[in-house]
Amino acid sequence: MIGHLYVVAAPSGAGKTTLVRLLFEKDPGIRVSISTTTRAPRSGEEDGREYHFVDVESFLEMVSRGEFLEWAEVHGNYYGTSKRWIEAQMSAGSDVLLEIDWQGAQQVRKSFPEAVGIFILPPSLEALKQRLSGRGTDSAEIIARRIAAARDEMRHVDEFDYVIINDDLQQALGNLICVVSASRLQYKTQRQRHAALFATLL
């Protein structure tokens, strides 16, 4: 496989989804994997665009058939990533980005130890609380539960290769672009993607 696999994780409210969307706009060459989930669609979300929405029974059947590269239960809902789709994209030379949690990242590394892990941190717990409250979609009880979960998730930051603190959105985006650009310039990647040139020069 010659495509890169980027694994981006973050606690809820750290700005991961926004950063990934902006990266995709800047670099359409990256394929963004669409996860399958059992959670209900939020306002404005469409099946097949943000997520593939399924019921719990269907999800568990997919698990039993081994269709997921990784899957996990998060905040009472299941999320999973299609293994076949990822392998097909990377074999064709495309870079793929996964938006998943730290549990999913651990599972991915078992199949793709060379995956580039990127963790997004908020600038403070207070900023995280403000962002979650500003959504206006969750109750105070749910927000408190998400804050507690976020603290647990952030304890796994040392399992990732790169850490981006999302204090300023544009600066964080620039950092994310730098990580992607640097990984593409690694010797192994360049040797595979430009085999004819290397053969000629060396």
Q: Where are the domains of the chain?
A: 5-201
d(CA 172, CA 20): 11
Question: What are the C-alpha distances in Å from 86 to residues 10, 15, 68, 166, 177?
Answer: 21, 24, 10, 27, 21
pTM (whole model) above 0.85:
no
Instruction: Write down the pLDDT at residue 132.
Output: 81
Contact indicator for 72, 78 with CB cutoff of 8 Å: yes
User: What share of the chain has pLDDT > 70, as a percent?
Assistant: 98
Q: How confident is the model at residue 33 (pLDDT cuts 50, 70, 90)?
A: confident
Alpha helical stretches, state H, the chain: 16-26, 56-64, 83-91, 102-111, 125-134, 140-154, 169-184, 187-193, 195-201
Angle at 176 between CA 131 and CA 23, to 5 degrees: 80
Average pLDDT over residues 20-40: 91
Residue of 68, 65, 72, 63 whose CA lies nearest to 104:
72
pLDDT at 27: 93
* Residue 127 pLDDT greater than 70, yes or no: yes
Distance, CA of 164 to CA of 179 (rounded, Å): 10
What whole-number distance in Å separates Cα of residue 108 and Cα of residue 7? 8
Indicate whether 1 pLDDT > 60.
no
Assign 122 a pLDDT band (cuts: 50, 70, 90): very high
The class (CATH top level) of 5-201 is alpha beta
Instruction: State the pLDDT at residue 152.
Output: 92
Q: Which long-range contacts (CB under 8 A, 24 or more apart) does 59-64 make?
A: 62/36
Q: What is the pLDDT of residues 64-112, one digit of tens each?
A: 999 999 888 888 999 998 898 898 889 888 999 998 889 889 989 998 9
Structure confidence at residue 36 (pLDDT): 93
pLDDT of residue 12: 84
Residue 156: its pLDDT value, please? 96
The pLDDT, as a whole number, for residue 193 is: 86
pLDDT in tens, 133-177: 776 667 788 888 888 889 999 999 999 999 999 999 999 999 999
Task: Say how far apart CA 45 and CA 71 lie, in whole Å.
Answer: 21
Give the containing element (helix H, strand E) for 194: none
Q: Which two tokens stand for residue 33?
A: 């994997």
What is the reported pLDDT for 55? 95
Pairing of strands 5-9, 95-99: parallel
Contact 14, 129 (CB under 8 A): no
What average pLDDT does range 29-47 have in this prediction? 90
Given a cut of 90, whether residue 38 has pLDDT beyond it is yes
